[in-house]
Amino acid sequence: MAHDYGLILAGGRGTRFWPRSRRHRSKQVLNVIGERTLIQATVERLRPLIPPERMWVLTSHPLRDEIIRQLPEVPREQVLAEPVQRNTAPAIGLAAHIFHSIDPDAVMGVFPSDHVITRPARYRRMLRPAFRAAREGKLVVLGIQPRHPETGFGYIEFPKGVDPGSTTPRPVVQFREKPDLATARRYVRAGRFYWNAGMFFWRASILLDALRRYLPKTATLLSALPGFRDRRFFTELERAFPLCENISVDYAVLEKSSNVVGLACDDIGWSDVGSWEAVRELLPGDKDGNVVRGEALCQSSRGNYIDAQGKLVALLGVNDLIVVDTPDALLVADRRRAQQVGELVKILEQRRRNDLL
Amino acid sequence: MAHDYGLILAGGRGTRFWPRSRRHRSKQVLNVIGERTLIQATVERLRPLIPPERMWVLTSHPLRDEIIRQLPEVPREQVLAEPVQRNTAPAIGLAAHIFHSIDPDAVMGVFPSDHVITRPARYRRMLRPAFRAAREGKLVVLGIQPRHPETGFGYIEFPKGVDPGSTTPRPVVQFREKPDLATARRYVRAGRFYWNAGMFFWRASILLDALRRYLPKTATLLSALPGFRDRRFFTELERAFPLCENISVDYAVLEKSSNVVGLACDDIGWSDVGSWEAVRELLPGDKDGNVVRGEALCQSSRGNYIDAQGKLVALLGVNDLIVVDTPDALLVADRRRAQQVGELVKILEQRRRNDLL
C-alpha cells in the first residue's frame, strides 16, 4: 500500500513581519498567532494523517537550524535547505524525486508552513479524500472558500454546483491568476471560484511525469540526481538546483494538466496571515479594537496592534497603528500600510544593515 | 561687599517627559536638548556670574544623588533635599534663611533648573543689572518677551514704553495670573506683558522681611531653624518644613509688594520645554519635519519626534507622533496630546506600577 508523505514548504522570508522576522527568524518560525510557531502548528494539525517520520521540510540555509530546533519530532535529515531559492516547481519536483527514490508508490501532500487554520478537524476532513484521489492518480488541489474579493491570491474555478465541504473531488475547470478587483468581485459573487492556497496532493511518480512533460529541463536535472541516501546527493544538488527553472508548480504544471481535481473547503478558518494587519484581525481585541501582545496602556486610542515583550507600551491619542518592538528595532506603521513593511526591509538591504535583516 | 548666591530650584517631577523621566530621573537631570542635562546647562550658563561654591540646589530626596553626580563642581552639602514638596515660597524662604545665616549681606538669584536658554551671553547681560538692583534693595524679576499667547504662564505687566533688552530696571505694574486665550492675545498685542519665568533676585534679608510681613507662619518656622552649620539643622528642618504653607513666592510676596522692579529680556531663546512637543520644536528636523534622537528610518512620515537609544525606529505612513522608547516602557502619542503624558503617569501611580514611575 502507498504511504502518504508530507512536504512542508518553508523557504519564504516573510519580510512583512519585520522587525520580528529576520533572515534567521522568518514568519513561519514565529509565533505570530498563539503560543506555537506557524510551522509547529502546521506539523501539529497534519500529525493525525502524516506521522513526523514521513514529514519533510524544504527551507533555506539561514532557517534550517531553527526549524530543526522547533520540530524535534521530524527527523533532522528530512529538513533540507534549498541551495538557492527557486519557486515551487523545482522544490516540489525535488521532494517528489526524493520520495520516489525512497518509495516508488509515494503519495505526497504539499503544505505551506506559514498559514493559519483555526478549524483543523474540519480541515483534516478534506485531506482524507484529497489523499485518496491522489492515490488514484489525480493531481489534487484544495480550494479555500473566499471571504472577500482578494486580489492577492490565484483562484481555482470549479464546475457549477460545487458544494463547499463536500468530500467528493470535482474536476477543476481552470486556474485563474491573481485577478483585478472587479474580476475578484465577480468570482466571489459567482460562488464557484476558490482561493488557491498552495495545498496539493499527488503521487510522486505522477508529478515527475508531469514535470517531464511540461518542464523538461528541470525534470532532467532532478532525475539525474542520485538517490537521497547516496553520499553524493547534496553535492549534486548544489550543482543542479540553481539551474532549475524559477517557476511555480501552478503555472508550470497545474494550468496545463487536464487531470486536475479539486476539493472545495467550507470554512476551515484559513488565513495566510499576510501582514501584521492580518494578525490584528485574527486576534481578539479590547473594547476599542486594540490588540495587544504584551502589556499596554491605551488612552484615547483605537484599532491598534501592539506587540512588545518585556516592556509596557503606552498609547495616547493614536489610532490604527501597528507597533512592534524588538531589542534592536521598533516599527510604528499605519495599519493600512501593513503590506508595505517589506519595503522597509528592502531599504535596509540597500543600506547593508545586515544587523537588522 | 555683598556676594551673589545662586539658588537652583530642582524639585519638579516633570512627568510629561515619561517614560524618560522617572522619580529618580526627572526632567532637570535629563539631556532633553543637547548633550548636557538641563540642570548642568543651568549651572554652566550662570557660572560666569556665580561660582559653583556659591551655587545651591534645592531638590527632592529621590533626585539628590543624581544631581550631586551631575554637578561635581557644586559642593555636595549645598545640594539639599526638601523634606516634602512645597511650593516656591517655603523653598526660597529656606534658602534665604541659609544664605542670611552664612552671609547677612547675601544677594540671591533664583533659577529654575529645567528651562532652556539658547542665547546665554545675551541672558547674562540681563543678570548683571538684576543683581545690581537686588543689591540696592529691590525685589527683581526677569520678564521673557512672549512669542505667542501662552495660557500656561503668568505674565508681568511692565509700564508703557518698556524696552526689551534694556538693562534699566522698570517698576512692575502688576503680576497677572495665567490668562485665558483672549486675554493672552491682548497681552501679546499690547507689547508690555512679559512671561514670568520664575527668575528672581533680591537680598536674602529683604525676602525674609517680606515673608515676615506677608507669610508670617512660614517666616516664623524658618527663622526658628538653627544655622546651616548647626548639627541640629536637618532634624529641625524635617520637623518644620512640612508645616510651611504650600504657596508660590509670586502669589505670597511679589503680587503684594510695591518694591518690585523688572528687567524685560529681548530674545534670549528661553523655553520651559514643557513637553516632548516643545523638544520637537526646539531641535532641527529633517525635510519632513521629523526630529530624531537616535536612528530612524522614516517612510511617508511627517512631523514626528523620535527618541530611542540603541535601536532603529522605522516609521511607515505615520504623522505627528511622539515616539519615546526606553528599556521598560515605550510611549507612542499624538503630539497634540504631549501635554497629557503626565496623565499616563497618574494612571500608573493608581496601578502602583512603581517599576515604571
Structure confidence by residue, pLDDT tens digits, B184-201 = 999 999 999 999 999 999
* Beta carbon pairs, A and B, within 8 Å: 111
Q: How far away is chain B from the Cα of A30, in angstroms, using its nearest Cα?
A: 20
State how far the Cα of B176 lies from the Cα of B255, in Å rounded to an integer: 9
Tens digit of each residue's pLDDT (9 = 90 or more) over B150-166:
998 999 999 999 999 99
Please compute the mean of the pLDDT values over residues A20-29 and round it to a whole number.
94
The position carrying cell 537609544 is B309
| Identity of the residue in A328, A336, A344 whose CB atom sits nearest the CB atom of B311 | A328
Helices (H), ranges, chain B: 38-46, 61-70, 88-102, 120-135, 181-190, 204-214, 216-223, 233-240, 249-252, 276-282, 341-350
Q: Which of residues 298-317 of A touch B (CB under 8 A)?
A: 299-300, 308, 310-317
CA distance B23 to A282: 39
> What is the rounded distance in angstroms from the CA atom of residue A73 to the CA atom of residue A76?
9
Q: Does A343 touch chain B (CB under 8 A)?
A: yes
**CA A319 – CA B333 distance, rounded (Å):** 10
Mean pLDDT, residues A330-339:
96
What's residue A34's pLDDT? 82
- Is A158 in contact with A264 (CB distance < 8 Å)? yes
Q: Is A350 on the interface with B (CB under 8 A)?
A: no
pLDDT in tens, A217-236: 999 999 999 988 899 999 99
Q: How many Å apart are CA B130 and CA B142, to the nearest integer?
A: 8
> Contact A335/A320 with Cβ under 8 angstroms?
yes
Give the per-residue pLDDT at B14.
Answer: 85
Quick one: pLDDT at residue B1? Answer: 56
Q: What secondary structure does DSSP assign to B114-160, as a single string?
A: S-EES-HHHHHHHHHHHHHHHHTT-EEEEEEPPSS--SSS-EEEPPT
Q: Is a pLDDT exceeding 90 seen at residue B13?
A: no
- For A150-167, what is the mean pLDDT? 94
Please check the confidence at residue B2 and state whether its pLDDT lies above 90. no
Strand (E) positions, chain A?
Answer: 4-10, 55-60, 79-82, 107-112, 116-117, 139-144, 155-157, 170-171, 174-176, 193-203, 260-264, 270-271, 291-299, 305-316, 321-325, 329-334
- Write the CB contacts of A275 (distance below 8 Å, at least 6 apart in sequence): A16, A17, A338, A339, A341
pLDDT averaged over every residue in chain B: 95
Mean per-residue pLDDT for B137-151? 95
Dihedral sign, Cα of residue B40, residue B45, residue B47, residue B50? negative
- pTM attached to this predicted model: 0.89
Of A4-8, A23-27, B127-131, B300-304, least confident by mean pLDDT is A23-27
**So what's the pLDDT on residue A229?**
87
Per CB-CB distance under 8 Å, the chain A contacts of B347 are: 297, 299
Rounded to two decimals, the ipTM of the complex is: 0.90
Please state, in angstroms and as integers, the Cα–Cα distance from residue B173 to each residue in B117, B185, B192, B200, B260, following that order: 26, 19, 10, 16, 9
Q: Which domains does chain B possess?
A: 4-271 (3.90.550.10), 276-356 (no CATH)
Beta carbons of B334 and A317 less than 8 Å apart: yes
Q: Which residues of A touch B329 (CB under 8 A)?
A: 311-314
Q: B35 CB near a chain A CB, below 8 Å? A: no
Calculate how close chain B gets to A17, using CA atoms only, in Å: 13
Strands B305-316 and A329-334: parallel
A19 prior amide bond cis, ω within 30: yes
Give the dihedral of Cα atoms B298, B302, B308, B314; nearest 10 deg: -30
Q: So what's the pLDDT on residue B35? A: 87
